[in-house]
C-alpha cells in the first residue's frame, strides 16, 4: 500500500491509496484541493474528514486555525488531529495552512489603537452571614471602572 498526497492551495489530506482510487476535487475556503479516495468492492469505505459526495470542506481547516489561534504548536495540532480523527497530517501542512491567515494577523497587529480603552474591575468577597437563625454565604460586590 502506498500513500499519495495531493495539494493545491488548500489543506493536504493524506489517505492510503490502493490500486483502485477515485480522484475528486473539493472546494474549500482557501481554494480547490484534489484528493484521492480509495475504492473498495463493497463500497463500505467511509472517509472521516471529507465525507462522501461533499463538494466543500472547511471543518478541518477551521479546527487547525482555531487550535493555532489558541497557541498550539504545529506539532501539537498534528498530534491532536491524529488522536481525534486517526488521520495523519504533517506539521508542514499545518504551517502552510496557518500561513494563509498570517496577512490577517499582521493587519490586526498593525491596526491603529484607540486613545482610551475602558476597564471594568469587578470583585467580590464572600462572608458567612447569620440570618433567620441560619448561616448563609453572602457576597459583597465591588465595581470600579476607569476610562
Domain range for 26: 2-109
Residue 126 inside a domain? The answer is no
pLDDT at 3: 43
Structural domain count of the chain: 1
Please tell me which residue, 124 or 17, carries the higher pLDDT value: 124
Give the predicted TM-score (pTM) of the model: 0.41
**Cell numbers standing for residue 13:** 489530506
Domain assignment present for 138: no
Whether 18 is in a domain gets the answer yes
pLDDT at 28: 62
Statement: residue 48 has pLDDT above 70: no
Does residue 29 lie within any of the structural domains? Answer: yes
Question: Are residues 31 and 14 in contact, defined by beta-carbon separation less than 8 angstroms?
Answer: no
Q: Is residue 86 part of a domain?
A: yes
Going through the chain in order, the beta strands assigned E by DSSP cover 2-6, 13-17, 21-28, 31-38, 119-131, 134-146
- Tell me if 73 is assigned to some domain: yes
Alpha carbon 69 to chain centroid, angstroms: 8
The answer to whether residue 91 is domain-embedded is: yes
Q: Is residue 129 part of a domain?
A: no
The sign of the torsion formed by the CA atoms of 104, 110, 112, 114 equals positive
Encode pLDDT of 73-122 as tens digits.
888 888 888 888 777 877 787 887 778 788 888 898 899 988 888 899 99
Amino acid at each position: 500500500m502506498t500513500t499519495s498526497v495531493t495539494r493545491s492551495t488548500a489543506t493536504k489530506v493524506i489517505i492510503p491509496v490502493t490500486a483502485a482510487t477515485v480522484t475528486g476535487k473539493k472546494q474549500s475556503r482557501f481554494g480547490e484541493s484534489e484528493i484521492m479516495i480509495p475504492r473498495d468492492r463493497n463500497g463500505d469505505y467511509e472517509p472521516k474528514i471529507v465525507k462522501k459526495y461533499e463538494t466543500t470542506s472547511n471543518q478541518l481547516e477551521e479546527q487547525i486555525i482555531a487550535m493555532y489561534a489558541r497557541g498550539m504548536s504545529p506539532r501539537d495540532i498534528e498530534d491532536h488531529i491524529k488522536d481525534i480523527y486517526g488521520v495523519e497530517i504533517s506539521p508542514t501542512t499545518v504551517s502552510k495552512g496557518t500561513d494563509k491567515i498570517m496577512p490577517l494577523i499582521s493587519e490586526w497587529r498593525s491596526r491603529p489603537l484607540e486613545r482610551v480603552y475602558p476597564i471594568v474591575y469587578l470583585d467580590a468577597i464572600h462572608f458567612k452571614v447569620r440570618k433567620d437563625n441560619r448561616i448563609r454565604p453572602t457576597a459583597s460586590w465591588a465595581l470600579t471602572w476607569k476610562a
